[in-house]
A and B are shown apart, each in its own frame.
Chain A
Amino acid sequence: MIEVLNPTAGPATGKIMMAERTGTLDGLRLGVIWNGRPYGDRVINSVIDLLRQKYSFESVTFRKKPFIGNVAPASIRDEIVESCDAVITGIGD
């Protein structure tokens, strides 16, 4: 018998956590971050239009990330944290 080693890094470190759920979207201040990919703004705006048919938002703050592949800069994150109750973002092409 020989013993060999598992080469994987195992599960994620857990530093990235699911945000607390808001319950309802009604009356919330919504933040939206577009990853900057061409036409992504159109997709996201369509999503907002659909959501507006079901919910009434107090405000919608729309921001664009300068780098598609990196997390949004601190200035955008801080603004969203300060002025929004929930945020919609995503990756995709």
Chain B
Amino acid sequence: MVDRLTADRISVENLDAAMELYFERGWTDGLPVVPPTEMKVMEFLDYAGLEPGRPLGDVPERDRVITAEHLAINAVMAGCKKEYMPVLVASVEAICHPDFRFNHMATLGSAWPMLIVNGPMGRDLGFNSGMYLLSSAGNRPSSTVARAISLLFWNCTESRPDGIQRGQFGNPGRGHYCIAENEETSWDPLHVMLGFDREQSTVTAVSTYPGPYQVYCQRTANPELMLDSMADAISTYDFYRGTYILLVPPHFAELFIQRGWSKHDVRRYLMDNCKRSVADLKRRGLWGLHSSEYDGFAGVAQAVQPGDEDRYAYVFKPHEYDRIMFDDTTLLRRSDIYVVVGGGNAGPRLCFLAPYGVSTDPMTVAVHPV
């Protein structure tokens, strides 16, 4: 075999010893890995038609370049099949894209990118779009692609607690958040909403705070009333701007569709109604909390003034209190709701994921088939 890989080789006695080696060196997330042999890694690279040294992503914050070889090694370790390589490559390209920038690996809030696969590859490779959507559901592509991306940044950018990661609580989505959208409804899937052709497979990366938050919404089949519960939940969360993901199970999507509601209508309703009164924000110590230009706040109880009960600040919509509620870094970022159909087709809840929106925007890139 042509010696084309540059990674150091380590000789071990057998497979058991190999698995132990990865624990001892701190090269795994706490679970056993598939030992990456040269033959197996070359299989992955050959399948994808990638030279080992091909740069896939620049991580300037860590002064590292992620190559196809790095990705293939960690994908083997995670238990991927070689057929997942195009999705893995697109995932790295999305996360390393200059408009996404994984510059928040060390954030105390434990943000981690969620991956959403759209188009034929989501369906054909069998990524999970249904029951038990956000956990290990015995679904190999979703579980192993999410894990491969986690291991890649664990091993190549020291994105781990004994490295540079400083998340307070960690993110249970790390190693799990890789889903496909259920594209069986008449709603346009996410990638079509974002301007891609329906037959073009894509990966969307959205940096999310630990969650998800499921919200009981089915007291009624009235769209406004269903969404009022969601608007209330989003507004009660951190009151923070960015791009949220709203997961709508297929039976909910049908309720909206039957009543003539598009994804845009759902998005618009939430944008118009995710709000809190100034009085509420003051009582909860959120008034001005995220702005560096508003003085006299941050944990200090603020006096509710006459009229504050009837004045509102909005999570998504530009409003007169923006400079008080949000910092520059956030105001310059995208404020949006990605409505994605997914999850089990029974049950009374919708689900949202809150973004890390301080210095990143979501990124969608095309998957290039081999």
Query: Which residues of A are interface residues toward B (Cβ below 8 A)?
Result: 1-9, 12-16, 36-41, 66-71, 93
Contact = CB atoms under 8 A, between A and B. Distances in A.
A71 B98 CA distance: 12
24 contacts: A1-B11, A1-B13, A2-B12, A2-B37, A3-B9, A3-B37, A4-B12, A5-B7, A6-B73, A7-B22, A7-B70, A7-B73, A7-B74, A7-B151, A8-B27, A12-B63, A14-B63, A38-B327, A39-B292, A40-B292, A66-B328, A66-B332, A67-B328, A70-B103
A5 B360 contact: no
Nearest to B15: A2
Contacts of B157: 9
Contact of A4 (B37, B64, B70, B332): B37
Interface residues of B, number: 50
B101 A70 contact: yes
Interface of A: prevailing SS: loop
A37 B291 CA distance: 9
Interface in B4-50: 5, 7-15, 18, 21-22, 27, 35-38, 41
A39 B359 CA distance: 18
Interface in B289-323: 290-292, 298
Nearest to B21: A4
B64 A66 contact: no
Interface string B326-355: 011100100000000000000000000000
Contacts of B64: 9, 12-13
B298 A9 contact: no
Contacts of B275: none
Contact of A3 (B10, B101, B108, B327): B10
Contact of A2 (B35, B298, B328): B35
Interface in B238-289: none
Contacts of A8: 27, 155-156
A1 B12 contact: yes
A15 B332 contact: no
B328 to A, nearest CB: 6
Given A5-B41, A39-B292, A69 B104 contact: yes
Given A3-B9, A4-B21, A67-B332, 4 more contacts: A36-B329, A38-B292, A66-B329, A69-B103
B155 A13 contact: no
A75 B14 CA distance: 56
B70 A9 contact: yes
